[in-house]
A and B are shown apart, each in its own frame.
Chain A
């Protein structure tokens, strides 16, 4: 692990996730593009929708931690030091942000008019 080459990361994630990697990357790219397009179209943040998205994000963050615990045959209760707290925050944060952005975007494109 002396050099961290992005291609190595790609290879490792491909082995880890198989075809799921491409699905996930697709969701991330499409979701981000749709989110930015929505912001450009509306030129504002819809606060009511944002709150709903953030609430859904909390659930997404928790689900990400549950998923992580399942695939690693362990859990965040095994945390033993600062690096572990960082990992827990990272997993929860990614789950939260990802879900919130997706939900906000989906809601926005479903019911485009201000409610």
Chain B
């Protein structure tokens, strides 16, 4: 019966009648008029300005800032400065290293997101001169500005780990997701070999601020799941080394992860920071309160210390005292991203010295606030825009499930879908969001549309 019905459907679809065709045309006309409608809603009046705005860095934060500024200002000279031609969708690196996506999934070009009317200079910024209101690029060209947005991102300081060789990532059980799309894929090969053989898997996070502090946890869970799927979990010991006394900066999330690690048999060491590594001997040395501790491994996911780029660290922009001064994070007001000492300078994204979140979600909420304050300054007004530290982390706990954790400066959980998507529950829907909706949302953000 159902076979018949299906055959009938297929047969019927093959035929054509005038009636249907005329209806298709009618429908198409109706649809066309509907589709035209949404464009007109995007019509906040632009502010006329001849201000020169320099954006240092064309990653997620720089591009989103350029798009937002271009949409709000008419006549301003907006200049983006970044040497890298490729654009990396960094939230996808974990999926590449999990074997879920191939590396092209995270690679596109900077140019395709540069909005019309914005100039892109493909050079590195060598010097920031906030006293002289200019930046100087590597070629020696000076770019004077009325407003500066620093969005350089951060520096992965592999050199700070004696014995580490980034060329060796992917070989001999050495993984490191953060380095690049190619090395994320190489890390997947190393981890997959480990999931076949078992042994000791070592996971860690650096003692500095870092981008996406959930990523080291995710990768521990993902490795655990691959081992289980291949029936080799019994042959492996997984060890997670936290840099301080917590697994996650938000206490309630720390407790949840602690429980999950307990369930999955992941051993946890606190207050251990990778000090050096011997990749030939597969030996890692950790700094601990009781002195250096050696740790043999068969697979390790190295996450290097993260610092502001040298050009920022060597400028007057960083915090001058306190915990963030050493690594060069920029001294901004955490609620509006404006520099504490230079009124016409803002910092957004990873390089901003704010308490929480170096993630794409932080960028998504920081950029509109910083831009609103900048535009208000141009218009001679005050902005009410306020950033509360919101960030989000789809914390993958196994392949096919994640916890959608959203929080703010005060360590409050701030779920977007309260009562529907519970933040501390391992859910498929959160995984679906991570794998399907996150990248389109991110790209929309770069284009200033989300």
Contacts and interface: CB of A to CB of B under 8 A. Distances in A.
B436 interface: yes
Contacts of B34: 25, 29
A2 B416 contact: yes
A8 interface: yes
B42 A16 contact: no
Contact of A30 (B19, B24, B400): B24
Interface stretch (B146-154, B265-273, B420-428): B420-428
Contacts of B1: 55
Given A16-B437, A55-B5, A109-B17, A83 B23 contact: no
A12 B441 contact: yes
B15 interface: yes
A111 B444 CA distance: 45
B19 A78 contact: no
A103 B401 contact: no
Given A33-B27, A34-B23, A83-B420, A107 B9 contact: yes
Contacts of B17: 109-110
Contacts of A8: 444, 449-450
A: interface residue count bin: 35 or more
B38 A73 contact: no
Interface in A92-112: 103, 106-107, 109-112
A109 B19 contact: yes
A53 to B, nearest CB: 8
Contacts of B243: none
B450 A11 contact: yes
A82 to B, nearest CB: 8
A86 B12 CA distance: 33
A87 B35 CA distance: 27
Contacts of B449: 7-8, 11
B254 to A, nearest CB: 21
A29 B27 contact: yes
Interface string B25-65: 01110110011001001100000000000000000000000
Q: Is the interface of B mostly helix, strand, loop or mixed?
A: helix
Interface string A65-82: 000100111111111110
Given A1-B406, A59-B6, A30 B23 contact: yes
A26 B33 CA distance: 11
B26 A84 contact: no
Interface string B407-432: 00000000011001110011111011
A76 B429 CA distance: 9
B431 A74 contact: yes
A12 B450 contact: yes
B392 interface: yes
B172 interface: no
Contact of B447 (A11, A33, A83): A11
Contacts of A51: 5
A112 B24 contact: no
B230 interface: no
Given A2-B390, A2-B416, A22-B35, A84 B27 contact: no
A15 B443 contact: yes
B100 A73 contact: yes
A77 B6 CA distance: 27
B15 A110 contact: yes
Contact of A33 (B26, B421, B441, B450): B26
A39 interface: no
A81 B432 CA distance: 14
A14 B437 CA distance: 11
A51 B450 CA distance: 43
8 contacts: A12-B437, A12-B450, A26-B31, A29-B31, A73-B101, A78-B401, A84-B427, A106-B20
**Top 10 A-B pairs, shortest CB-CB distance:** A30-B27, A78-B400, A15-B440, A1-B416, A74-B400, A11-B449, A16-B440, A29-B31, A52-B5, A11-B444
Given A29-B27, A29-B30, A29-B31, 16 more contacts: A7-B41, A8-B444, A11-B450, A12-B440, A13-B440, A26-B28, A26-B31, A31-B27, A34-B20, A37-B23, A56-B6, A73-B101, A75-B400, A80-B426, A87-B428, A109-B19
Interface of A: 1-2, 6-8, 10-16, 22, 25-26, 29-31, 33-34, 37, 51-52, 55-56, 58-59, 68, 71-81, 83-84, 86-87, 103, 106-107, 109-112
